[in-house]
Structure 1
Amino acid sequence: MQQRSAPRWVVLASAVVLAVAGSPAVRAQSIGYEGLGSGASAAPSAPERGQADRAVKRAGRGRGQAGKRIEVAPYIELNQVVGAELSPGDDVLTYTQAAAGVDASVAGRNHGASASIRYQRQFGWGKRAGDGDAISGVVRGYATVTPGVTIEAGALATQADVEDGGGALVGGTLAGNGRSSVYSVYAGPSVATRAGDLSVSASYRAGFTKVDQDDDAPAVSGGGADIFDKSTVQAAEVQAGFAPGTVLPVGVGAAGSFSQEDIANLDQRARDMQARAMVTVPVSRTVRVVGAIGYEDVEISSRDAVRDANGLPVVGSDGRYVTDKSAPRQLAYDVSGLLWDVAVMWRPSRRTSLSAHVGRRYGSTSYGGTLAYAPDDRSRFSVSVYDNVSGFGGQLNRALDDLPDDFEVVRDPITGDLRGCVASLEGSNCLSGALGSVRSATFRARGVSASYTLQFGRLSAGLGLGYDRRRFIAARGTVLATANGVVDENYWLAAYVGGELGSDAGWSVNGYANWISSNDPLFADLNGYGATASYYRMFTPRLRGTVAVGINGSTYDGPAIDDLWSASALAGLRYSF
């Protein structure tokens, strides 16, 4: 039973992104305040998604004694893994695991990027231990082409266990055991310039996301055909404004944005257009209030599935509904009219920033904001509250965009896969909230995520937790109509801690938990848990030995589905070049 190899475009995209580097993704569905009437002389405002903070860090990066930093660490691994099923069975399976990867970090005066890319091949011992291969990794960065023009991009590849109802758990089983692959990539330019006192900025983003189900993945009852396939996302935004004290005592500006996600499943389309005018009122040296008013037009539509002679929807060889291209497009969501928003931005120091806003979007009240607090150079706390309309691809692009440019990836020491968060003292650093559900239908997402990172001497630790609520939107009269109004909720937690033991040894412990629930009566609630511990020792400056143990479990709120628990252990060698 062999898992599909990762698409070649993922490998190529990762290489391109590392060379070009990346940052903000498709974000046009949220009102932006940064850049409009802020003024260079004023204390920087706390942007809705962290762009100004990143710009400050980028401007200062590479100005030390060395001027730039390039760290590239390719490696190969050979591991032996034993897995024991604890419940409901008692199988013991053995695998040999071969892997090659690279961890890289690049920082200079006008560019910065971090990357961790790993290819893994697994060989099972015996008929029940499946073979398989997988690619996993994340890349983020940016490059300044010329003053005011920046190319930004990012890419992600990870493995997920897609469960009944479309719930997706990251981590757990080994490659080749019926896992699905998730890929996402985006890129685009940003331009910022001035014409006298007028500040002008514009950006364009294009993104692509794909969920590749393994041929050996277990059948998903009821909603298997509603599993997300792929989507493309495009977004453009332009804004211009005068800072307070230039032409008026207050800052004034205008902006327009366009965003569209095209989802392959049933030809779904989510389109969001808005135009707005803004006024910035300086309340004090550290506080500003921004008011926005404008017009929005948000529309979601799709086609129906092909029907057989009995009127039943046709499912293709990939396990998803076959789209009837001849069927007329049907509206699922159509909101247009006045939008307004009021934001308060507070930045008392370079270590603390807060942005909170309330307004009317998508035909109802909308809340959002961010908090970033770094009491010293060794720790950081951040919180983000969001509200948007999107598909799975657009939401994953946003989460990827929110990652910092400078990070270290946290991996499961046994499966080698990503563990939901990265280690960094910059920005938001977790992806777990975006992976809770892989239904194909579009949705309105509301939630909150928080993370805390600490680096103290030889100790590094981090904690991420959050809540994501998705209310799905689908057209009546189509096969997805049963998903309309369904609410999926995902509470998640991810943590890691590790450190060095002298000059040639170290340890790490990490864990995760997901609590996924739905009001869909066809699907049971799902909980996922996992924890691993590892120890490494350097035998030579380039050769490292590692031992690790772990436990993973999935529990279901339904007597018809058995809970799954397994334990595993690894012993292996890594050679770094």
Structure 2
Amino acid sequence: MKRLIILAGVATGVAAPAQAQRVQVTPYIEASQVVASDLNGGDVLTYSTVGAGIDATMHSRRVEVQVSYRYEHRFDYQNKLNNDHTHSGLATVRATVAPGFSIEAGGIATRTRSDIRGDVQTSNVGNFSNSAQVFSGYIGPNLATHLGPMFVNGAYRFGYTKVEAPGQTGVDPSQPRLDYYDDSTVHVATASVGVKSGTVLPVGITASGSYTRENAGQLDQRFEGKWGRGDVVLPILRGLALAGGVGYEQIKITQRDALTVGGVPVLDGAGRFRTDPNSPRRIAYDLSGVFWDAGVIWKPSRRTFFEARVGRRYGSMSYTGSLSYQAGPGSGIQIGVYDTVQTFGQQLNGQLGSLPTALASTTDPFGNEFSGCIYGTTGAATGGCMTGIFASATTSAYRGRGVTGVAVMGRGGTKIGIGGGWAKRDFIAPTGGGTAFTTNGTSDTTIYGQLFASTDVGANGSLQGSVIGSYYDSDLPGNDGIYGWGANAAYTHRFGRLGATLSTGIFGFERDGESSASAQALLGLRYGF
């Protein structure tokens, strides 16, 4: 909560010089009654919740802000709840301070899976399994200006990520134990300078560079990466161009050993590995060398953009690309293909920075609003998906490759969002360290899809529904591959400042020899001030 309040304060301070055109701030309190029935022959769990939150938006010529935050406390009747509170929220800020100079900030509070092999928590109702509270945020300035015919761009980001320790994960205790993510700080600086094709030369030329430094709390981990590259764009037809680039990079990832007794890691009070203070700094990854890529850029209109590149990076072939199409003011699609060496904190901060400032309200009474796909309200900025990132909060760095896509459709009071993707992580860690197991050389895969729809019902009602599905697989010992699924529907009716919501859903997961399913219902009242 504190981090989201800080971001909201930054937005308010920056917004002061600008004349706000649209401002809406709605604090609220709410109370709900929840019933969850285990469909595998288990108990019926009943409890009450009391929550408080705020929804705020600001859109002016110079400032765009959207903040949504909710805190919930739970009161059980049968002493079966092992999690009595949750935080859920998202904040995005874009503020123009001066021509060509802006500040961006963002933050998220939600839940992440802890162990890729463990249970799938597709709903935040009842007791959480293999789930941990996560907070993450970033802030930094942007520069975009011109020096004669040359464009000059620069940006800096400071990011912070914190993950609380989980409870039970659902992994067999006889399997190798994985460390729990703690926190990290990351600094990223980027710069580019160049000329567009047809201004000075028939071709466009760009020189760019980047520096990344991350310090993680677990085992004194450090990530340092830097690269520089040159790119050329050659137009060949109207809206079509060939592109290519070559660069040089250095990436070094190090950490210390875990403290062990007889080869077994010593744990702290939260269940994380303790760092051996006498351990040398071990190298997990040390890469330096030339990389290159080439491809095509197609932009037949202002509404359509496509880029695809193939090259060699990180010691093997690499494929990247993007597609965006704006079908109308409220409808569009965005698809991205990525390949990068990074960490959980870096990837989460990066995805936060790519989210639009205008987001669709997908209030989920069962608490999955910000842990899956997040939808924008315009065809030009459709949103993004967090599912691949929250597959597990891994402490190891990894080479992440994947495809993610989001489509939105909106007309009048009806909105539809579709998201999905595929993500693979190849883990990078030292092979030594005193323990009998290392994640180095292992990998995991996530496949996911999500559908959301909402529509107005009369002047004061709204109906929402969502369907989610996911599959997680890993070559870590103790993994059999696991499917997660769920569906829910909710109707809300507003009586002035008071709103009543009735929601029902069914959620579960399946893996070899084991399945779990739960039917859930919620009746809630919300009062907005």
TM-score when normalising by structure 2: 0.92
Are the equivalent residues in 1 in contact too, given 2:291–2:313 (CA < 8 A)? yes
Per mean C-alpha deviation after superposition, the further-off stretch among 166-175 and 514-523 is 166-175
Could you tell me which residue of structure 2 aligns to residue 242 of structure 1? Answer: 195
Are the equivalent residues in 2 in contact too, given 1:261–1:390 (CA < 8 A)? no
Could you tell me which residue of structure 1 aligns to residue 511 of structure 2? Answer: 556
SS of equivalent to 2:352 = helix
User: Alignment partner for residue 16 of structure 1, among 9, 12, 15?
Assistant: 9
SS of equivalent to 1:418 = coil
Could you tell me which residue of structure 2 aligns to residue 97 of structure 1? Answer: 49
- After superposition, residues 226-305 of structure 1 pair within 5 angstroms as 226-305=179-258
Matched residues in 2 for 1:496 and 1:17: separation? Answer: 31
Q: Could you tell me how far 1:368 is from its partner in structure 2? A: 0.7
| Aligned residue identity for 1:15 | A
Q: Could you tell me how far 1:242 is from its partner in structure 2? A: 2.1
Are the equivalent residues in 2 in contact too, given 1:402–1:427 (CA < 8 A)? no
SS of equivalent to 1:393 = helix
In structure 2, the CA distance between the partners of 1:481 and 1:263, relative to structure 1 (3 Å rule), is farther
Could you tell me which residue of structure 2 aligns to residue 387 of structure 1? Answer: 339
Identity among equivalent pairs (%): 36
State yes or no: 1:348 paired with 2:348.
no
Structure that is richer in strand per residue = 2
SS of equivalent to 2:372 = strand
TM-score when normalising by structure 1: 0.85
SS of equivalent to 1:482 = coil
Matched residues in 2 for 1:219 and 1:481: separation? Answer: 16
In structure 2, the CA distance between the partners of 1:214 and 1:441, relative to structure 1 (3 Å rule), is closer
Matched residues in 2 for 1:568 and 1:169: separation? Answer: 13
Are the equivalent residues in 2 in contact too, given 1:20–1:142 (CA < 8 A)? no
| Aligned residue identity for 1:469 | K
State yes or no: 1:322 paired with 2:274.
yes
Are the equivalent residues in 2 in contact too, given 1:272–1:299 (CA < 8 A)? yes
User: Alignment partner for residue 128 of structure 1, among 80, 83, 106?
Assistant: 80
Gap regions ≥5 residues in structure 1: 1-7, 23-61
In structure 2, the CA distance between the partners of 1:438 and 1:67, relative to structure 1 (3 Å rule), is closer
Matched residues in 2 for 1:111 and 1:83: separation? Answer: 42
In structure 2, the CA distance between the partners of 1:218 and 1:18, relative to structure 1 (3 Å rule), is farther
Are the equivalent residues in 1 in contact too, given 2:51–2:70 (CA < 8 A)? yes
Q: Could you tell me how far 1:312 is from its partner in structure 2? A: 3.0
Per mean C-alpha deviation after superposition, the further-off stretch among 262-271 and 315-324 is 262-271
Could you tell me which residue of structure 2 aligns to residue 46 of structure 1? Answer: none
Matched residues in 1 for 2:126 and 2:81: separation? Answer: 10
Q: Could you tell me how far 1:198 is from its partner in structure 2? A: 2.1
SS of equivalent to 1:483 = coil
Could you tell me which residue of structure 1 aligns to residue 430 of structure 2? Answer: 475
Matched residues in 1 for 2:351 and 2:79: separation? Answer: 39
Could you tell me which residue of structure 1 aligns to residue 460 of structure 2? Answer: 504
CA deviation profile, 1:27-81 (whole Å, cap 9, x unmatched)? xxxxxxxxxxxxxxxxxxxxxxxxxxxxxxxxxxx9xxx9722122222111111
SS of equivalent to 1:191 = strand
Q: Could you tell me how far 1:185 is from its partner in structure 2? A: 0.5
| Aligned residue identity for 2:517 | W
Q: Could you tell me how far 1:417 is from its partner in structure 2? A: 4.9
Could you tell me which residue of structure 1 aligns to residue 162 of structure 2? Answer: 210
Could you tell me which residue of structure 2 aligns to residue 31 of structure 1? Answer: none
| Aligned residue identity for 2:90 | V
User: Alignment partner for residue 488 of structure 2, among 518, 532, 538?
Assistant: 532
State yes or no: 1:445 paired with 2:438.
no
| Aligned residue identity for 1:134 | T
Per mean C-alpha deviation after superposition, the further-off stretch among 542-551 and 411-420 is 411-420
CA deviation profile, 1:210-234 (whole Å, cap 9, x unmatched)? 1112567777734544222212211
Kindly report the root-mean-square deviation, in angstroms, between the aligned alpha carbons of the 2 structures: 2.4
Could you tell me which residue of structure 2 aligns to residue 85 of structure 1? Answer: 38
Across the two proteins, how many residue pairs are aligned to each other?
522
Are the equivalent residues in 1 in contact too, given 2:119–2:509 (CA < 8 A)? no
Could you tell me which residue of structure 1 aligns to residue 111 of structure 2? Answer: 159
Could you tell me which residue of structure 2 aligns to residue 431 of structure 1? Answer: 386
State yes or no: 1:488 paired with 2:452.
no
State yes or no: 1:68 paired with 2:68.
no
Matched residues in 2 for 1:487 and 1:17: separation? Answer: 39
Could you tell me which residue of structure 2 aligns to residue 518 of structure 1? Answer: 474
Gap regions ≥5 residues in structure 2: none
Q: Could you tell me how far 1:363 is from its partner in structure 2? A: 1.9
Are the equivalent residues in 2 in contact too, given 1:77–1:98 (CA < 8 A)? yes
CA deviation profile, 1:241-281 (whole Å, cap 9, x unmatched)? 12223332222231111112322222222222111122222
SS of equivalent to 1:400 = helix
CA deviation profile, 1:523-570 (whole Å, cap 9, x unmatched)? 2322211111111222x221111111111112223x3xx422111111
In structure 2, the CA distance between the partners of 1:253 and 1:187, relative to structure 1 (3 Å rule), is same
Q: Which has the higher contact order (CA 8 A, sep 6+)?
A: 1
Per mean C-alpha deviation after superposition, the further-off stretch among 499-508 and 260-269 is 260-269
In structure 2, the CA distance between the partners of 1:20 and 1:231, relative to structure 1 (3 Å rule), is farther
| Aligned residue identity for 1:74 | P
Could you tell me which residue of structure 2 aligns to residue 40 of structure 1? Answer: none
| Aligned residue identity for 2:3 | V
Could you tell me which residue of structure 2 aligns to residue 404 of structure 1? Answer: 356
In structure 2, the CA distance between the partners of 1:169 and 1:292, relative to structure 1 (3 Å rule), is farther
In structure 2, the CA distance between the partners of 1:166 and 1:390, relative to structure 1 (3 Å rule), is farther
